A and B are shown apart, each in its own frame.
Chain A
Amino acid sequence: MPEREQIKKTTTTRTDEETVQEAPATSERGEKLKAELDDLLDEIDEVLETNAEDFVKGYVQKGGQ
């Protein structure tokens, strides 16, 4: 148990330090992540199944393990 705590503590400390160091950039990075996700959603929109309801209804897979 003590060593498990140690693993958790070292990693938590490390994460905290990184977070502190990167704090000024956090909102900028958050914006960037959001923009990336928006682009991804746009890309996904292009390939999505057109008739979702029929597609979901028609997807039947019997006899599996």
Chain B
Amino acid sequence: MAIAKIVGVETEFGIMLRGAAESNPIAASSLLINAYAGERARQAGASAGGPKVGWDFEDESPGNDARGGPPPGALPPEIETHLVNIVLTNGARYYVDHAHPELSTPECADARSIVRFDRAAEEILVASMAAAKRLLPDGQELVVYKNNSDRKGNSYGCHENYLMDRLVPFGRIVTHAMAHFITRQVFTGAGKVGTEAAGLTSEDVPFQLTQRADFFEEEVGLETTLKRPIVNTRDEPHADSQKYRRLHVICGDANLSETATFLKVGTTAIVLAMVEDDFLPRDFIFRAPVWCMRAVSYDRSLRLPLELADGATITALDVQWELLDRARKYADAGGLAVVGEEVGAAVLAEWEAVLTGLEADPMQLADRLDWVAKYRIIDAYRERHGLQWSDARLAAMDLQYHDLRPDKSLARRAGLRTLVSPDEVASAMTEPPTDTRAYFRGTCLQKWGDAIVAANWDSLVFDIGKDPLRRVPMMEPSRGTAAHVGMLLAECTTPAELLERLGS
């Protein structure tokens, strides 16, 4: 039986200090996050100290490989323990990672919740820019971009994480995840003017569906910064490692469109549930997956035949139609409780509507998909001014689509549909989800931030004065919800009482 598909999304943002001669990205990222934390702490008063709680690196092991030991010559990712790293009262982690500000959403139980907390993450970055501006000299500001490339061959990621059953053979995950990752690009892409792939120019690729496809060079592997693989093997569940694995997905784009985020996470969660239940009879093994990854991104016609290992060919859209067909049968056979029944049904409906639109005329989806919205604006501007695709003005518009400043963002002006209300987004900036262990983390930080010395995904460390530090393990991502511990947390008036009642 498939297990609940608890999901989190980590986004690395682009950052620029405008109005200054030189900009150090690590200093800029630190200033951005500290400015937000400082302002939150002042707003919350002394009692709620959430933002100053640091990250606990005790159990981090990003070098573990799902295929077994680390492959010879592989460099495990470095853990940068000295950089700014805070935990927010909504259960998210906000930190400096490799010279970028990064925000990891709290654990979410379904795709709609991910949309809400991903939007809240954007608003946290918007608030951070405003807070930083108040600290900087006149004429300077930090500007944050939610994209994945600087157009010069440097990429930064938007990673998805899905809780999976440890018992599922990793090879089976690789087969089906690879087919989905290559073909879902038709709706997950955030669009890019031109290409950064070696040997290609904007004459070869004037506009492509995704930000990320140019940067994938391997099929399967542990790396995330070099020779990026389509399927990443990092094996660090942040949960009971006997029971769970966390599929760490590094090939997606950061989306501004809520529909794109909803489908990216919603369809992937359903595909992975089907993998766990062995419900996908047909293996789509591509002859050249890395080539396919790029070819799908470069093909705006969506008609390109992709060659399978058995010699047959199929388009990305037809792979998606077949996955949707299986997903419908899967829902009929056993329901979609593992991705949320209602949300799962909404994912299936939107998935079908979007594939139908892509097949008829992608431009119908300018209010739903990032790449279409971006293409529509930039192509119309190009025609109006008679520009070549290589013109810097179009490249600038591409970057500005992702500018998170409300008064500059082109995405905000593109007429994209929304799925969550402004109020839902605002509350998600400080309140955790109620249906995962993030509820326990966030609520404890709200109530007893001063007594929590460190936090991470699977534990909280309390200092209640007299005793040694006390670690509360949270190895079950679906426990610690409002239903499990809401009453307990409401009844306890001190952290000491909580620890006593938890028996830890």
- Determine whether the beta carbon of A55 is less than 8 Å from that of B97: no
CB distance from B76 to the nearest CB of A (A): 13
Please name the residue on chain B nearest to A55 by beta carbon. Answer: B396
Q: How many residues of B contact A (CB 8 A)?
A: 53
CB distance from B102 to the nearest CB of A (A): 9
Q: Which residues of A contact B484 (CB under 8 A)?
A: none
Alpha-carbon distance A8/B318, docked complex (angstroms): 10
CB distance from B192 to the nearest CB of A (A): 13
A-B contact count (CB 8 A): 116
Query: Which A residues, 25 to 65, have Cβ-Cβ distances below 8 Å to chain B?
Result: 37, 40-41, 43-44, 47-49, 52-53, 55-56, 58-65
Q: Which residues of A contact B393 (CB under 8 A)?
A: 48, 52
- Determine whether the beta carbon of A59 is less than 8 Å from that of B156: no
Among listed B65-73, B130-138, B172-180, B408-416, interface-contacting one = B408-416
Alpha-carbon distance A61/B352, docked complex (angstroms): 37
Please name the residue on chain B nearest to A50 by beta carbon. Answer: B396
- Determine whether the beta carbon of A61 is less than 8 Å from that of B413: no
Q: Which residues of B contact A65 (CB under 8 A)?
A: 12, 77, 97-98, 156-157, 159, 224-225, 250
- Determine whether the beta carbon of B400 is less than 8 Å from that of A48: yes
Please name the residue on chain B nearest to A61 by beta carbon. Answer: B150
Partner of A62, one of B77, B99, B148, B380: B99
Q: Which residues of A contact B300 (CB under 8 A)?
A: none
Q: Contacts A59-B14, A61-B25, A61-B100 given: A8-B381 contact, CB under 8 Å?
A: no
CB distance from B320 to the nearest CB of A (A): 10
- Determine whether the beta carbon of A44 is less than 8 Å from that of B154: no
0 or 1 for each of B1-30: is its CB under 8 Å from A? (1 = yes): 000000000001011100000000100000
Q: Which residues of A contact B14 (CB under 8 A)?
A: 59, 61
Q: Contacts A56-B151, A62-B154, A65-B156 given: A11-B356 contact, CB under 8 Å?
A: yes
Q: Which residues of B contact A12 (CB under 8 A)?
A: 356, 359-360
Query: Which B residues, 99 to 135, have Cβ-Cβ distances below 8 Å to chain A?
Result: 99-100
- Determine whether the beta carbon of A63 is less than 8 Å from that of B100: yes
Q: Which residues of A contact B413 (CB under 8 A)?
A: 40, 43-44, 47
Q: Which residues of B contact A40 (CB under 8 A)?
A: 377, 380, 413-415
Among listed B263-271, B304-312, B322-330, B461-469, interface-contacting one = B322-330
Q: Which residues of A contact B325 (CB under 8 A)?
A: 1, 3-4, 7
- Determine whether the beta carbon of B396 is less than 8 Å from that of A56: yes
Partner of A11, one of B151, B250, B352: B352
Q: Which residues of B contact A62 (CB under 8 A)?
A: 25, 99, 150, 154
Is residue B407 within 8 Å, beta carbon to beta carbon, of the partner chain? yes
Alpha-carbon distance A49/B392, docked complex (angstroms): 11
CB distance from A11 to the nearest CB of B (A): 4
Q: Which residues of B contact A58 (CB under 8 A)?
A: 16
CB distance from A13 to the nearest CB of B (A): 11
Partner of A59, one of B381, B399, B408: B399
Alpha-carbon distance A61/B414, docked complex (angstroms): 25
CB distance from B469 to the nearest CB of A (A): 31
0 or 1 for each of B390-407: is its CB under 8 Å from A? (1 = yes): 011101110110000001
Q: Which of A3, A8, A52, A61 has the most CB of B within 10 A?
A: A61
0 or 1 for each of B338-361: is its CB under 8 Å from A? (1 = yes): 000000000000001000100110
Alpha-carbon distance A41/B385, docked complex (angstroms): 11
Alpha-carbon distance A49/B262, docked complex (angstroms): 30
Q: Which residues of B contact A55 (CB under 8 A)?
A: 396, 399
Q: Which residues of A contact B82 (CB under 8 A)?
A: none
- Determine whether the beta carbon of A47 is less than 8 Å from that of B407: yes
Alpha-carbon distance A21/B78, docked complex (angstroms): 61
- Determine whether the beta carbon of A15 is less than 8 Å from that of B329: no
CB distance from A63 to the nearest CB of B (A): 4
Q: Which residues of A contact B154 (CB under 8 A)?
A: 60-64
0 or 1 for each of B350-380: is its CB under 8 Å from A? (1 = yes): 0010001001100000000000000011001
Alpha-carbon distance A56/B415, docked complex (angstroms): 25
- Determine whether the beta carbon of B151 is less than 8 Å from that of A15: no
Q: Which residues of A contact B501 (CB under 8 A)?
A: none
Is residue B291 within 8 Å, beta carbon to beta carbon, of the partner chain? no
CB distance from B358 to the nearest CB of A (A): 12
CB distance from B249 to the nearest CB of A (A): 12
CB-defined A-B contacts under 8 Å, sample of 7: A1-B325, A41-B384, A44-B377, A61-B25, A62-B99, A64-B99, A65-B224
Q: A4-B325, A12-B359, A49-B400 are in contact. List 14 more A-B contacts (CB 8 A).
A: A7-B324, A8-B359, A12-B360, A15-B360, A49-B399, A52-B391, A52-B392, A56-B395, A58-B16, A60-B152, A60-B154, A61-B14, A61-B154, A65-B12
Closest CB pairs A-B (n = 9): A64-B156, A52-B396, A4-B325, A63-B99, A61-B150, A63-B98, A65-B224, A53-B392, A52-B393
